[in-house]
Structure 1
Amino acid sequence: MAHLFTPKKVGAYALSHRVVLAPMTRLRTIQPGDIPSPMMADFYGQRASAGGLEIVEGVSISIAARSYLGAASFYHDGQVEGWKAIANAVHARGGRVFMQLIHGGRQSHVEMTGGVAPVAPSVVPFEGVALTKDGFVPVSPHRALGIEEIPGVIEEFRVAAQRALDAGFDGVELHGANGYLVDQFIQDGTNKRTDAYGGPIENRVRFLREAVEALISVWGADRVGVRISPSGEWGAISDANPEATFSYVARVLDEYKIAYLHVIEPRIKGDDTLHEGHAPVAAKYLREHFSGPIIVAGGFDGESAEAIIESGDADLVAFGRHFSSNPDLPFRLQHKLPLTPYVRAAFWGGDEKHYTDFPAYQPAQQPETTV
Structure 2
Amino acid sequence: MSDLFSSIQLGNTQLANRIIMAPLTRARASDGHMPNQMMATYYQQRASAGLIITEATMITAGNSAFVNEPGIYNQEQISAWKKVTEAVHAKNGKIYLQIWHGGRATHSMLNDGQKPVGPSAIAIDDVIHTPQGKMPYEVPRVLETDEILGIVDAFRQAARNAILAGFDGVEVHGANGYLIDQFLRSSANTRSDKYGGSIENRSRFLLDVVDAVSDEIGSAKVGLRLSPLNSFNSMHDEDTLGLLAFVSKALSSRNLAYLHVMRADFFDKQHGDVLAIAHEVYSGNLIANMGYTASEASQAIKENLIDAVAFGTDFISNPDLPLRIENNLELAPADQSTFYLGGAEGYIDYPLAS
Same fold (TM over 0.5): yes
Partner deviation per Cα, 1:315-368 (whole Å, 9 max, x = no partner): 111111000000100111111111111111111232101110111100xxxxxx
Query: Where does the alignment leave 5 or more consecutive residues of structure 1 unmatched?
Result: 363-371
Distance apart, 1:109 and its partner CA? 0.6
Aligned counterpart, 2:227: 229
Aligned to 2:17: 17
SS at 2:145 equivalent: coil
Compute the displacement of 1:153 (Å). 0.8
Q: Which residue of 1 aligns with 2:261?
A: 263
Moved more, 280-289 or 38-47: 280-289
**Contact persistence 1:108–1:129 (CA under 8 A):** no
Q: 1:106 aligns to what SS in structure 2?
A: helix
Matching residue within 252, 255, 258 for 1:254: 252
Tell me the amino acid that sits aligned with residue 335 of structure 2.
V
Instruction: Give the corresponding residue for 2:285.
Output: 293
Higher Rg = 1
1:120 aligned partner: 118
1:143 alignment counterpart: 141
SS of the aligned residue for 2:181 comes to: helix
Q: CA deviation at 1:2?
A: 6.5
Alpha-carbon distance between aligned partners in 1 of 2:129 and 2:123, rounded to the nearest angstrom: 18
Mark the CA change 1:218 to 1:2 in structure 2 (over 3 Å): closer, same or farther: closer
Q: Is structure 2 residue 37 aligned with structure 1 residue 45?
A: no
SS, match of residue 253 in structure 2: helix
Distance 1:268 1:282 in 2: 15
- Identical positions, percent: 38
Amino acid in the other structure paired with 1:361: A
In the alignment, the residues of structure 1 paired with residue 2 and residue 288 of structure 2 have an alpha-carbon distance, to the nearest angstrom, of 18
- After TM superposition, the structure 1 stretch with the greater mean CA deviation from structure 2, 238-247 or 79-88, is 79-88
Q: Which position in structure 2 is the counterpart of 1:365?
A: none
Structure 2: distance between partners of 1:63 and 1:229: 25
Q: Give yes or no for the alignment of 1:302 onto 2:294.
A: yes
Hey, what does 1:353 align to over in structure 2? 345
Q: Which amino acid aligns with 1:345?
A: S
TM-score normalised by length of structure 2: 0.96
Partners of 1:134 and 1:53 in 2: CA distance: 37
**Would the aligned equivalents of 2:8 and 2:14 in 1 still touch at CA under 8 Å?**
yes
* RMSD (CA atoms): 1.8
TM-score by length of 1: 0.92
Q: Where in structure 2 are there 5+ consecutive unaligned residues?
A: none
- 1:155 — aligned with what? 153
Contact 1:247–1:286, Cα closer than 8 Å, also in 2: yes
CA distance in 2, matches of 1:144, 1:226: 25
Deviation at 1:116, TM superposition (A): 2.0
Q: Contact conserved, 1:251 with 1:290, CA < 8 A, in 2?
A: yes
Q: Distance in 1 between matches of 2:244 and 2:198?
A: 13
Conservation of the 8 A alpha-carbon contact between 1:70 and 1:349: no
1:8 maps to what in 2?
A: 8
Alignment size in residue pairs = 354
Conservation of the 8 A alpha-carbon contact between 2:123 and 2:138: no
Counterpart residue number, 1:36: 35
Letter in structure 1 aligned against 2:43: Y
Deviations 1:121-145 (A, max 9, x none): 1112331333321344322221110
**What is the CA–CA distance in structure 2 between the aligned matches of 1:76 and 1:130, rounded to whole Å?**
26
CA deviations 1:146-203 (Å, max 9, x no partner) are 0011111111111111110111100001000001000011111111111111111111
Q: Distance in 2 between matches of 1:279 and 1:337?
A: 32
**Alpha-carbon distance between aligned partners in 2 of 1:45 and 1:142, rounded to the nearest angstrom:** 37
Equivalent position amino acid for 2:118 in 1: A
Q: CA deviation at 1:64?
A: 2.6
